[in-house]
Chains A and B, each alone.
Chain A
């Protein structure tokens, strides 16, 4: 029985394990191990087969888990042990610890006795087995197998061979199944220790269940053969796992299985109805004007899937009112915020600039680094198309009517085009529909939960009912208010309903508003329609009345087709809808009115109660509010609609304005109309364009057509530097009398920066006349656009203003004002509300004007700031102000007065020279001076920045480090030949200007000697000195024998800036002084830096010292000496300070300027040659006095270099570079020779020198004066020399060599040697001479220009500043070296060994001698336009004015002379002498250009003129000839003469001024001053 039960049990177990295994397989197959079903079956069968071969059927079930098997065995043992229970038994000992951990059990040595299981033990075993099996069911097959290896809790059987184990187990099972008797001790031993032989035969027959008996026998029979070593150390380990193939299902089966588990939403869109709540209606909030943010983009397929899934879970809360999924706005920006790294190079913000040698330009007024920093180049095009007048005095009645009609038609067309009425109507209907939708929704919604509410309310009332008893006295009240409370509960209890009600209210009001708007618009349109028709009728009547027509306007009225039935329907619908609305409005207001009525009624009743029924104060009984009367209201509506809108029956009209009406010919018109038309045809319109208040263009006047339209069609392009805000246009009417009247002004805003010619459209802009004057109105058609750069294609427009752009975008896209994304745009838009409210908001503050200093004085007003600013600007009057006062009151006002005066003078001079014409020649001269000043300032401004260039030497003083060369030269100098009597001049180290700050600058003049000094002619004067009375007769003889007769006692006097220093007195006509004269230089107020602007002149005068014996008493002569020293001016040398400054020194033997006639002196020709060998070098026949001087500055001053700026040029780049190369090459080969190829003109542009040479016609007066060609040349040279000579250096206040054109030179009446030379050269060319401009260096002026004329007889060198000529071959010339020759075609540089004009050949064709700039290889530019004007303008000199000027000058000089003679206090004037002198002066002038008049003739003439005076007076006088520069210069020259220093009491003076007028306001000024001493 037991065995049966056991078997049964085992079968049960087997079944359960089978189940578990199939389940595992299932899981495995689900994991996706897919195999063919067939192979799986095969493998299963194979494994079964294998098992079959090895084991009996029952044991197969135990195969899945070895551990299970082992455990089972283990437990069986335990159970057996437990069942036996003998503590003394070793088997029991073995069994006990085995439960805890079998790890040590293998160590337990046998006596292992086979045991028997008791019944209790069997029970325990069964329960254990069951437990373990269930465990096996749970655990995975493979995992369990693995764990059996890893776990320490493995039984000793684990180490046994599998076969053995299973066999032993089988035996045991059999034994247990067999017997009621437990296993014997041998059996027990065998059970553990015996190695059983394989019973192959039995195995084969294992399918049949073995009998317990057999099993028991086998067990006992094999017990001895199992050795312990095998038991413990058996190494033959078989595979403990097995591969189980996955269960693989077919796809179909798989899907079928998955279909139960998964839900796959379909990608097919769901109809919107399903997405809405049941019965709901889709509502588009965007249609209702509610802001709907942009949805994020989602692929439709995904979206539909999502929707399907949501709907599948029947969750409709995810969907909005519009049936769309609720979602947040798209969080993505359309543009990336940060650029990609690779994008940087394409970024317009940076430019890759290669490194360059040129340093960035130093701080200029405008710091420019890149091209972008340059002021923007803008080009604005204005296309003025037409002007059409709509109102004007020239309008006839008909025109006015036509213009009115046109205006009306325009308005009407605009309205029709805009479709205002239709639009408003449609909007009205949309809102109505929306309201209806909400209403219907509201009706449905409460129907669901209304019941709840009522139930609630029922509860409430129930509650109230409970309380009734407590508050019996309030019952009545409560009864009254029940309804109210119910209402109240409704409101508070249901928020949604309230929202809906509010929405309905909103809709209602907006409908009302829209209706009003629509009605207004419709009425307007209808009114326009009517007025058009009326106006047209009027026009027709007018034309008929006046009998002619002058406008071509015609109105064509068309009837548009309309569907009567549909219109009627619409009309009715509209009426109905309006009626309904009015009804609801009435209802709503009625509630309120009712309440009011009730209250009034109760009040009235109270009053009646108090006052009695028939009191006067009672007032009428309040009337209940009127009931709604649909009939009445409908009638009202219809009446209103008919008035405003087109009723259905009425025809629909369209108007076309045509220009086809015939215009009556002018001849057929009545007279007034003819006159009017004539006036119209005379009238012309023009448009003036102003940008920034400055007129940029004035169109040609265009005639007005009879239709009062002026077709302008003019285009205009303006280059701008800054974008204008707006363009101002002025429509002008060109009257008949050449007068222009501005009709109207209008402003056009500048176009947006993207508008170009392609995109610009001409637009009409209306204008109306401003101010007084006849009314004129009209429209102007114009297009504004920006130009396009042809090269780059870029639009020459200002960069777009982001705010403007925003505004534009706002206009374009019509952004939603509710949309927060558009907030930046809407912020820029004008707020219509604010405008409507009257703009009571605070105006936004303008940037840069925060009003913190409102009321602060303008800084320009503050005298101190003004002073500081002017000083900073370098205004000459303020440049020297070193200490500016801290307070305004302390600023001396006189500082500004001089400045103001100058400004006024400048502006006056700018107003025009003719204005000053009435004030004589001096004023004309002043205007010239002003012109000079202006040019000076302009040039100075232009070059101020360039002046700041400093050389390294200016900043760094570096002593030379001695090297071998310098040391050698030092030692060499020790050994060199010494010539103490011929000392060489040592070159001094010049120092930069900055070093001179605070030091005294001195003018140093070393006077060496002079020769050919005029000697006294008046013997009487000589006798004054030495004619002593008779007693000293021997002495006289002795004196005369010892010394040559003392003919003159000359000394040199240096005058500079009114300071004077003189040398010692030497004797005779050829004196030697060898003396240093020093004078301090008074620096200009601005300091050393402005030294170049010092325009003082160094006067070096040669004077004769005369001793006058004052002893009256001859007896005292032995004992007393009483003499007076007088000085007589003989000759002078004037050197402009600038010459000295530029050249550093002036050195050489110079010819002194001697007057053509010295009264009382003569050049002792005979004396010459006898005394000094030096005179041998003088050319024979050359008269004049010479002096050898050396002038320099102490300490030496570094002259700033000429700034070589690459300025704008009128020459080509190629030519310029050629000139540069040529010049550089020549300078390298021949340093020190002067050569110029290009020079700057007044505007600062450089030009080729050849352009300055052009034959120019001299003034006709000069040509007519002489018939002889040579005389003409001399006269012309005289004329040129009379133009004052002003050095470039102090004229152009810088180191620039500017060449003015001849016209400018004549206008300015100032220029340096170059200008003189050019003018002279050009005149000579006109005379037909071969003339060249010679650049070289001469004395005393340093770098200079001469003119060379190549004549048949001789080559002459002309000094243009003195007008004197000398033969080119003459050895003694003031021109020291010749650098180059220039004529109109070419420039030739001197490449000969010598540079002295006497040593060189002037044949420019000799290639070896002269190097031309332009050769055959490098030809001159083909057409070389001259910078000179074709003819010169010569102003006519007013001779009368010259005469008055002469008188004025004479008076002035006289006053000055008297002033200078303050000491003596008495200056008698000798009139006869003055007159005689005055008569003599014209002769002197003539002698300058007439070689025929020689000195002897002059002397004779003088003697003749002054014969009478000579009889009574000793006369000593000087005629002074100065080119008229200014009167101040004349005064200075007079002062330098020193005539006023005559201290003699008896001295009388004579002064005569003569002015010889030449053309073009050029005047030769002669001043003759003489001192007379009465003869005794």
Chain B
């Protein structure tokens, strides 16, 4: 590889897709996602967040999204490696949506193709809330969705496991060797 004299900084490119969500009690699901990074990461191109379509699978229970993720960052430091934060919503028979769960996963840091399973949970409400949720819909939602990926207050939440979101991500690193990062 010819190393140019250009003074470009280290770059990371995440290309992949949010493949599907499985294991949920509902099957009509859609998913909102965002990528959270630390301060040393500068977004260059691509969407850092988005929303998939709502999939209503006729066959099987897994909602297939295959939603593309294509983000490009230049970085100054590897702290705050990106996390993929996911919120899964479900559509009910009336066309209403309610939150199905939250979850996050760290994006892989080694180059190559990876497939990640992001485990989804949702906050548990009071007994009354649970009943309401069962019969009327809706559900307890986090006031501050940042809680999903910050560990500060998360211990206070009581949660229920919901399902898994499957993600396939390919990581391309550039100029990392110049900064002495081995991978």
Q: Max chain B CB contacts within 10 Å: which of A348, A848, A858, A859?
A: A859
Beyond A351-B141, A355-B138, whether A344 also contacts B4 by CB under 8 A is: no
The answer to whether A865 touches B74, judged by C-beta atoms less than 8 angstroms apart, is yes
Which A residues between 358 and 387 are near B, CB-CB below 8 angstroms? Answer: 359-360, 362-363, 367, 369-373
How many residues does chain A have at the interface if contact means C-beta atoms less than 8 Å apart? 49
Which A residues between 840 and 866 are near B, CB-CB below 8 angstroms? Answer: 847-853, 856-859, 861-862, 864-865
| Interface-side segment among A93-101, A141-149, A867-875, A1254-1262 | A867-875
List the B side residues contacting A356 at CB < 8 Å. Answer: 96-97, 138
Residue of B8, B80, B145, B181 touching A857 (CB-CB under 8 A): B8
Beyond A350-B157, A355-B98, whether A859 also contacts B77 by CB under 8 A is: no
| Interface-side segment among B14-22, B42-50, B107-115, B162-170 | B42-50
The answer to whether B51 touches A849, judged by C-beta atoms less than 8 angstroms apart, is no
Q: How far is the CB of B49 from chain A (nearest CB, A)?
A: 5
Residue of A363, A849, A872 touching B40 (CB-CB under 8 A): A849
Taken together as a complex, chains A and B put the C-alpha atoms of A867 and B144 apart, in Å, by 35
The answer to whether B40 touches A859, judged by C-beta atoms less than 8 angstroms apart, is no
Whether, in the assembled complex, A1406 has its beta carbon less than 8 Å from a beta carbon of chain B, the answer is: no
Whether, in the assembled complex, A354 has its beta carbon less than 8 Å from a beta carbon of chain B, the answer is: yes
Which B residues between 157 and 179 are near A, CB-CB below 8 angstroms? Answer: 157-158, 179
Q: How far is the CB of A1539 from chain B (nearest CB, A)?
A: 49
Whether, in the assembled complex, A738 has its beta carbon less than 8 Å from a beta carbon of chain B, the answer is: no
List the B side residues contacting A758 at CB < 8 Å. Answer: none
Whether, in the assembled complex, B101 has its beta carbon less than 8 Å from a beta carbon of chain A, the answer is: no
Whether, in the assembled complex, A888 has its beta carbon less than 8 Å from a beta carbon of chain B, the answer is: yes
Q: How far is the CB of B177 from chain A (nearest CB, A)?
A: 13
List the B side residues contacting A369 at CB < 8 Å. Answer: 87, 141, 145
Whether, in the assembled complex, B57 has its beta carbon less than 8 Å from a beta carbon of chain A, the answer is: no
Residue of B8, B32, B42, B156 touching A367 (CB-CB under 8 A): B32
Beyond A848-B38, A856-B10, whether A355 also contacts B136 by CB under 8 A is: yes
Which A residues between 865 and 898 are near B, CB-CB below 8 angstroms? Answer: 865, 868-869, 871-872, 887-889
The answer to whether A851 touches B77, judged by C-beta atoms less than 8 angstroms apart, is yes
Taken together as a complex, chains A and B put the C-alpha atoms of A869 and B136 apart, in Å, by 46
Q: How far is the CB of A1238 from chain B (nearest CB, A)?
A: 28
Please name 20 pairs of A and B residues whose Cβ atoms are closer than 8 Å in the assembled complex, sorted by A.
A344-B140, A345-B128, A347-B157, A348-B143, A350-B140, A352-B139, A353-B139, A354-B98, A354-B136, A355-B138, A357-B95, A359-B97, A367-B34, A370-B144, A372-B143, A372-B144, A849-B77, A853-B77, A859-B74, A872-B44
Q: Max chain B CB contacts within 10 Å: which of A344, A858, A864, A888?
A: A344
Residue of A345, A848, A869 touching B126 (CB-CB under 8 A): A345
Q: How far is the CB of B45 from chain A (nearest CB, A)?
A: 4
Which B residues between 9 and 38 are near A, CB-CB below 8 angstroms? Answer: 9-11, 32, 34, 38
Taken together as a complex, chains A and B put the C-alpha atoms of A1293 and B34 apart, in Å, by 29
The 5 closest A-B pairs by CB, nearest first: A848-B39, A345-B126, A355-B137, A888-B6, A354-B138
Whether, in the assembled complex, B94 has its beta carbon less than 8 Å from a beta carbon of chain A, the answer is: yes
The answer to whether B77 touches A852, judged by C-beta atoms less than 8 angstroms apart, is yes
* Beyond A355-B94, A363-B32, A857-B7, 13 additional pairs, beta carbon < 8 A: A347-B156, A347-B157, A350-B141, A353-B138, A354-B98, A355-B92, A369-B145, A802-B152, A859-B42, A872-B45, A887-B4, A888-B8, A889-B6
The answer to whether A856 touches B9, judged by C-beta atoms less than 8 angstroms apart, is yes
B residues near A (Cβ < 8 Å) are 4-11, 32, 34, 38-40, 42, 44-47, 49-51, 72, 74-80, 87, 89, 92, 94-99, 123-129, 132, 136-147, 152-153, 156-158, 179, 181
Taken together as a complex, chains A and B put the C-alpha atoms of A356 and B137 apart, in Å, by 9
Q: How far is the CB of B33 from chain A (nearest CB, A)?
A: 8
List the A side residues contacting B80 at CB < 8 Å. Answer: 848
Residue of B38, B98, B126 touching A344 (CB-CB under 8 A): B126
Residue of B8, B47, B136 touching A865 (CB-CB under 8 A): B8
Beyond A853-B179, A857-B9, whether A349 also contacts B126 by CB under 8 A is: no
Q: Max chain A CB contacts within 10 Å: which of B74, B146, B152?
A: B74
Whether, in the assembled complex, A262 has its beta carbon less than 8 Å from a beta carbon of chain B, the answer is: no
The answer to whether A370 touches B4, judged by C-beta atoms less than 8 angstroms apart, is no
Residue of A nearest to B44 (CB): A868
Taken together as a complex, chains A and B put the C-alpha atoms of A345 and B124 apart, in Å, by 9
Q: How far is the CB of B157 from chain A (nearest CB, A)?
A: 6
Q: Max chain A CB contacts within 10 Å: which of B5, B45, B137?
A: B45
The answer to whether A887 touches B6, judged by C-beta atoms less than 8 angstroms apart, is yes
Q: How far is the CB of A856 from chain B (nearest CB, A)?
A: 5
Residue of A nearest to B144 (CB): A372
Whether, in the assembled complex, A341 has its beta carbon less than 8 Å from a beta carbon of chain B, the answer is: yes
Taken together as a complex, chains A and B put the C-alpha atoms of A861 and B156 apart, in Å, by 44
Q: How far is the CB of A887 from chain B (nearest CB, A)?
A: 5
Whether, in the assembled complex, A339 has its beta carbon less than 8 Å from a beta carbon of chain B, the answer is: yes
Taken together as a complex, chains A and B put the C-alpha atoms of A851 and B77 apart, in Å, by 7
Taken together as a complex, chains A and B put the C-alpha atoms of A856 and B8 apart, in Å, by 8
Q: Max chain B CB contacts within 10 Å: which of A350, A856, A889?
A: A350
List the B side residues contacting A1214 at CB < 8 Å. Answer: none
Q: How far is the CB of B24 from chain A (nearest CB, A)?
A: 15
Beyond A349-B123, A373-B145, A889-B4, whether A355 also contacts B51 by CB under 8 A is: no
List the A side residues contacting B144 at CB < 8 Å. Answer: 349, 370, 372-373
List the A side residues contacting B47 at CB < 8 Å. Answer: 363
List the A side residues contacting B145 at CB < 8 Å. Answer: 367, 369-370, 372-373
The answer to whether B6 touches A847, judged by C-beta atoms less than 8 angstroms apart, is no
The answer to whether B39 touches A849, judged by C-beta atoms less than 8 angstroms apart, is yes
Whether, in the assembled complex, A988 has its beta carbon less than 8 Å from a beta carbon of chain B, the answer is: no
Q: Max chain B CB contacts within 10 Å: which of A355, A369, A856, A864?
A: A355
The answer to whether A357 touches B39, judged by C-beta atoms less than 8 angstroms apart, is no
Whether, in the assembled complex, A342 has its beta carbon less than 8 Å from a beta carbon of chain B, the answer is: yes
The answer to whether B7 touches A862, judged by C-beta atoms less than 8 angstroms apart, is yes
The answer to whether A355 touches B77, judged by C-beta atoms less than 8 angstroms apart, is no
Residue of A nearest to B80 (CB): A848
The answer to whether A360 touches B97, judged by C-beta atoms less than 8 angstroms apart, is yes
Q: How far is the CB of B86 from chain A (nearest CB, A)?
A: 12
List the A side residues contacting B9 at CB < 8 Å. Answer: 853, 856-859, 862, 865
Residue of A nearest to B136 (CB): A354
Q: What 1/0 flags go to A1004-1043 for Cβ under 8 Å of B?
A: 0000000000000000000000000000000000000000
The answer to whether B156 touches A850, judged by C-beta atoms less than 8 angstroms apart, is no
List the B side residues contacting A888 at CB < 8 Å. Answer: 4, 6-8
The answer to whether B142 touches A848, judged by C-beta atoms less than 8 angstroms apart, is no
Q: How far is the CB of B4 from chain A (nearest CB, A)?
A: 5
Q: Max chain A CB contacts within 10 Å: which of B40, B44, B49, B128?
A: B44
Q: How far is the CB of A208 from chain B (nearest CB, A)?
A: 88
Residue of A nearest to B126 (CB): A345
The answer to whether A859 touches B76, judged by C-beta atoms less than 8 angstroms apart, is yes
List the A side residues contacting B124 at CB < 8 Å. Answer: 344
Residue of A nearest to B129 (CB): A352
Taken together as a complex, chains A and B put the C-alpha atoms of A260 and B49 apart, in Å, by 83
Taken together as a complex, chains A and B put the C-alpha atoms of A857 and B129 apart, in Å, by 53
Residue of B nearest to A361 (CB): B51
Residue of B10, B74, B77, B158 touching A341 (CB-CB under 8 A): B158
List the B side residues contacting A850 at CB < 8 Å. Answer: 40, 77-79
List the A side residues contacting B78 at CB < 8 Å. Answer: 850, 852
Taken together as a complex, chains A and B put the C-alpha atoms of A347 and B139 apart, in Å, by 14
Q: How far is the CB of B174 from chain A (nearest CB, A)?
A: 9
List the B side residues contacting A345 at CB < 8 Å. Answer: 125-126, 128-129
Taken together as a complex, chains A and B put the C-alpha atoms of A360 and B50 apart, in Å, by 11
The answer to whether B143 touches A371, judged by C-beta atoms less than 8 angstroms apart, is yes
Beyond A372-B144, A853-B75, A865-B44, whether A352 also contacts B132 by CB under 8 A is: yes
Taken together as a complex, chains A and B put the C-alpha atoms of A743 and B124 apart, in Å, by 58
Residue of A360, A373, A858, A868 touching B72 (CB-CB under 8 A): A868
List the A side residues contacting B141 at CB < 8 Å. Answer: 350-353, 369-370
List the A side residues contacting B45 at CB < 8 Å. Answer: 868-869, 871-872
Taken together as a complex, chains A and B put the C-alpha atoms of A862 and B174 apart, in Å, by 14
Beyond A355-B97, A362-B51, A868-B72, whether A887 also contacts B8 by CB under 8 A is: yes
Taken together as a complex, chains A and B put the C-alpha atoms of A370 and B72 apart, in Å, by 28
